[in-house]
Homo-oligomer: A and B are copies of this chain.
Amino acid sequence: MSDKNRLVKSKLLRELYFEEGLTCADLALKVQKSFPLTAKLIEELVSENQVVETGLAPSTGGRRPLTYALQKGEMYLVSVAMDQFVTKIAIMDMQNNFVGPVQKVVLPLPNNPKALSILIEKIKEAIDNSGIEVKKLVGVGIGMPGFVDVKKGVNYSHLHLGNKSITRHISEKIGLQVFIDNDSSLIALAERRFGAARNETNAMVINIGWGVGLGLILNGELFRGHEGFAGEFSHIPLFLNGKLCSCGKMGCLETETSLLLILEKAKAGLEAGRLSMLTSINFDDLEVACDLLIQAVHSGDQFAVELFSKAGYNIGKGLAVLIHLLNPKSIILSGRGSCAGQIWLAPIQQALNEHCIPRLYQSTHMDISTLGLDAELIGAAALVMENFEKSQPALTAQSMGFNVAVN
């Protein structure tokens, strides 16, 4: 049955995307097939020019096994990372390299009925400019803030389209498979697959950005919850500070920690005459201002360090809740704010010391992202590949057979 083998082949390609240099035995384990079958299918993929041999792995005491990787120049991904104001579009290859420059578009999301059509236009443009044949593009992955229902392909916060799925809509316009997810979830996916949470089964990935997002890796997989809204870390009611949050409630975590809050405090402090190397900073462009502030931290500017420390302590208070509830093995600080680096660790640890049962936090390891600002784009690409086998043509539910349909 050729269709069924096609499915296994897709799985093989997917595994090789997530990890290069696997041996036939590794692949057989990962796709849960026998060695002879796996070997046969890999051989076919090699002769189809989808996969190449990459030499021999080190011996473990016997004959050295052949390793495999994806053929270069055969498959590409379209990756889109949106925030409230700016959207980044990239074409990526199977080795997580950007093909051509990453395109930045100023595209405000809130109450912007034109946003969707502009987005589609810009994606088309990016594809055209790349000069890559459409048939070599596997699909489009999009990360965006808001309440995203992955299955329905809907974002309840932005890009409304009545009840229609925006993934289907974009897909129809562009002619490629389209997948969306929440920005923090995609950052977590990127860290899980290629970053600081690689191969972790139990990790909390914190997205320190204009708010504070959370992507949950539970049992090795991205956890999304009943409707896909899991990870609303920003709005857990943790403080009795009477500060009004953007969500309408009071005392949310976000009212005591976020890059936006740090910037506000920096502005207020400087206006009140705080001494700092930042005096001439311009707060109109948030991204630039944030980068400068992080630079100041690295240079040891006392005011900047103080601001980040306070924010860190409050993130730590939130993490104490997470640790109690989910007993994670590791916590990864990612997103834009993670560029500030080690500065976060001490104040967070301080908060854990104060607010956590020792047995719980002692076995939890904290780490800082290695992916930094690219995390969301990489995650959007990974999202497409996570769904790769489903997106392959010629695979109807029936042709996939009894067992597969169960999933």
**A binding-site residues for B, Cβ under 8 Å:** 29, 32, 34, 147, 156, 201-202, 214, 216, 218-219, 221, 223-233, 235-238, 240, 247, 249, 317, 320-322, 324-329, 354-357, 359-360, 363-364, 402-403, 406
Contact = CB atoms under 8 A, between A and B. Distances in A.
A236 B156 CA distance: 30
Given A32-B406, A225-B327, A326-B230, A321 B236 contact: yes
15 contacts: A29-B406, A202-B226, A218-B218, A219-B219, A219-B223, A224-B327, A225-B328, A226-B329, A232-B325, A232-B357, A237-B321, A238-B321, A249-B355, A321-B321, A321-B325
A402 B406 CA distance: 22
Contacts of A321: 236-238, 321, 325
Nearest to A29: B406
A357 B355 CA distance: 25
A34 B227 contact: no
Q: Which of A34, A218, A321 has the most CB of B within 10 A?
A: A321
A204 to B, nearest CB: 10
Contacts of A231: 325, 327
Nearest to A228: B327
A215 to B, nearest CB: 11
A226 B324 contact: no
Contacts of A201: 226
Nearest to A327: B225
A94 B403 CA distance: 29
Contact of A325 (B29, B228, B322, B359): B322
Contacts of A218: 218-219, 223
Contacts of A34: 402
A247 to B, nearest CB: 6
Contacts of A29: 406
A238 B238 contact: yes
A342 B406 CA distance: 38
B328 A226 contact: yes
Q: Which of A235, A320, A406 has the most CB of B within 10 A?
A: A235
A230 B228 CA distance: 21
B235 A324 contact: yes
